[in-house]
Amino acid sequence: MHFLCKCGYRFHDSTDCISYKGRIIADQDWNEFWDCIDKIEKSHENNHAIYERIDDLFHLNLYQCPSCGRVFIENPENISQLIRFTPCLEGEPEPDVNKRLLISSHGEKWKGHLYADWYDEKPEWCDCRGMIYPTLNIQLDDLTFDDYESFENRFYELFEHLKGLRLISYAILNVNRKRTFMWSEKNNE
């Protein structure tokens, strides 16, 4: 899903682990959610069906604009339609509000991912040849490059730094659409 906030922020929901996206579970479904967890813990034959039911229980997506704080919730009667809520305090519209309501409960310590792509020939859709895409709850700078050596050095510098802080669970480096480096915390424990 892609949409534009009234303030001009462009939402892109085409990947996982987005810091401005969450899911809603109705309080009336809370007990059923825990019943599903109990069934899975008992190594039930129909685990796949149970996982699907859990996903159904969390079927409504929720988005918060990181720029202005507006909240968008999918309409349960038509999930392609979003219902917008504008923040207000004591009747004052659009106050300075917490714009990070949907980040992980781990906050800035959430283990994210580090991706990087290099193209020898600059893609027509991009202003540079190398890009590093961190999916983290912290802000990083200097992530676009036209020099391969600078790009590669910055990627490995970030990788070692974030791995040392235990802030990533995996990292991938692609050069001309070929994977040249992949690290996963699970495979390196």
- Model confidence at 63, pLDDT cuts 50, 70, 90, reads very high
Task: Assess contact for 7 and 86: CB atoms under 8 A.
Answer: no
Task: Assess contact for 71 and 62: CB atoms under 8 A.
Answer: yes
Residue 49 scores a pLDDT above 80: no
Q: What's this model's pTM, rounded to 2 decimal places?
A: 0.60
For residue 28, the model assigns a pLDDT of 67
Residue 180 scores a pLDDT above 90: yes
For residue 95, the model assigns a pLDDT of 56
- Model confidence at 98, pLDDT cuts 50, 70, 90, reads low
Residue 15 scores a pLDDT above 60: yes
Residue ranges of domains in the chain:
2-93, 107-188
Q: Is 25 exposed, middle or buried (0-12, 13-18, 19+ CB in 10 A)?
A: middle
